[in-house]
Amino acid sequence: MTKRRVLITGALGQIGSELALYLRDCYGEDNVLATDLSDKKERALPEMHFEPLDVTDRKRLHELVKEYRIDTIINLAAILSATGEKLPNLTWEVNMGGLVNVLEVARAENCSVFTPSSIAAFGDSTPKVLTPQVTIQRPSTMYGVTKVAGEVLCDYYHKRFGLDTRGVRYPGIISYKTLPGGGTTDYAVHIYYAALQKKAYTSFIAEGTKMDMMYMPDALKAVVDLIEADPARLVNRNAFNVTAMSFAPEELAEAIRKQIPDFELSYDVDPIRQAIADSWPDSLDDHCAREEWDWSPEYDIDRMTEDMIRNISI
């Protein structure tokens, strides 16, 4: 594995709070710096090197990159889809302003950059089933707008300045350590807590609404597999479709019933998040990731459900 010194933005979020520890195990404790807007590191990452950082503050980002001799920036600071519709201006400022800062600092200090895109980069006019790697992208949310623009901007920095930019289009990420931060796929996390506490869940996403999902261990593995991939094999760079499973709420409920037989699912659909979900793919075609950097997820819906229920129960 390459020796790296990594800075993570947005490290106290759902993905960052687990990715920071995963990267520490890969690259060593003194080679990973976690940063986030909040300085409440004791809650999520008490044992990590941590600095407060607002990603919209380019000067501070640049200082930290120089001070810690960073060579790789993992940019996770973002406002997600549902919160983004409440706060579209902030979403633009953080998601795009932050990314421009990360790319400019990376250019000045010759860092590699990993930034996740999302299934939100697609829209109503995108083919819904086995959505191709390269296809129509006209998203209807501000979050999606920033994700498409981010994909294209990262490609631009690679082509124009030779920056080593890479990224995946994550589907909904399911995990039990840190709750999700205001997305449309969050129901697929909340359902497990409700199943264990009340044996019942009321879904804000309607029956029959399929979306791609992935269990956190696969999401973490994807980051390191891609940043360590041989660049000569990468045709795509910044927006690899990756998926592990695709299901609707009732299919997840069926998987939960294999562990909790009397679990009951009902619906109280939220029109805003439902419209977002309806505009996203049912299932992604991730063959480019499989061919170019050997992407291969380990968790399907049943294995993930067993692991989620076992861990939330502890």
What positions carry a catalytic annotation?
143
Q: Of 31 and 140, which CB lies nearer to ligand SER in the complex structure?
A: 140
Write the DSSP string, 31-93. GEEEEESS--HHHH-TTSEEEE--TT-HHHHHHHHHHTT--EEEE-----HHHHHH-HHHHHI
Residue from 123, 150, 183, 281 binding ligand SER (CB under 6 A): 183
Nearest partner of 211 among 270, 268, 277, 286, judged by Cα: 277
The yes or no reply on residue 172 touching ligand SER (CB under 6 A) is yes
Among the listed ranges 39-47, 113-121, 126-134, 296-304, the one in contact with ligand SER (CB under 6 A) is: 113-121
What tokens appear for 128 in the block? 């819904």
Residues across the chain: 314
Q: Of 46 and 261, which CB lies nearer to ligand NAD in the complex structure?
A: 46
What residues have CB less than 8 Å from 198, skipping those under 6 apart? none
The yes or no reply on residue 51 touching ligand NAD (CB under 6 A) is no
Q: Of 185 and 241, which CB lies nearer to ligand SER in the complex structure?
A: 185
Residue from 38, 135, 296, 313 binding ligand NAD (CB under 6 A): 38
32 binds, among ligand NAD, ligand SER, none (CB under 5 to 8 A by kind): none
Q: Of 60 and 303, which CB lies nearer to ligand NAD in the complex structure?
A: 60
Neighbours of 292 (CB within 10 A): 18
Residue from 181, 234, 250, 312 binding ligand NAD (CB under 6 A): 181
The bridge status of strand 112-114 relative to strand 72-75 is parallel
| Cα of 187 vs its chain's centroid, Å | 15
Alpha-carbon span 198 to 281, nearest angstrom: 31
What tokens appear for 119 in the block? 């299934």
Provide the minimum distance between the beta carbon of 149 and ligand NAD in the complex, in angstroms, as a whole number: 13
Sheet with 112-114, edge to edge strand ranges = 49-52, 32-36, 6-9, 72-75, 112-114, 165-166
Residue 312: burial class (beta carbons within 10 Å; 0-12, 13-18, 19+) = middle
Alpha-carbon span 53 to 36, nearest angstrom: 5
Q: Of 78 and 194, which CB lies nearer to ligand SER in the complex structure?
A: 78
The yes or no reply on residue 54 touching ligand NAD (CB under 6 A) is yes
Residue from 7, 8, 12, 195 binding ligand NAD (CB under 6 A): 12
Provide the minimum distance between the beta carbon of 102 and ligand NAD in the complex, in angstroms, as a whole number: 11
The yes or no reply on residue 43 touching ligand NAD (CB under 6 A) is no
Alpha-carbon span 29 to 26, nearest angstrom: 9
Site mask for ligand NAD (CB under 6 A), range 83-102, x = bound = -----------x--------
Among the listed ranges 66-74, 76-84, 275-283, 304-312, the one in contact with ligand NAD (CB under 6 A) is: 76-84
The yes or no reply on residue 172 touching ligand NAD (CB under 6 A) is yes
Residues that bind ligand SER (CB under 6 A): 80-81, 118-120, 143, 172, 183-185
Residues that bind ligand NAD (CB under 6 A): 9-10, 12-16, 36-38, 53-56, 76-78, 80, 94, 116, 118, 170, 172-173, 180-183, 185
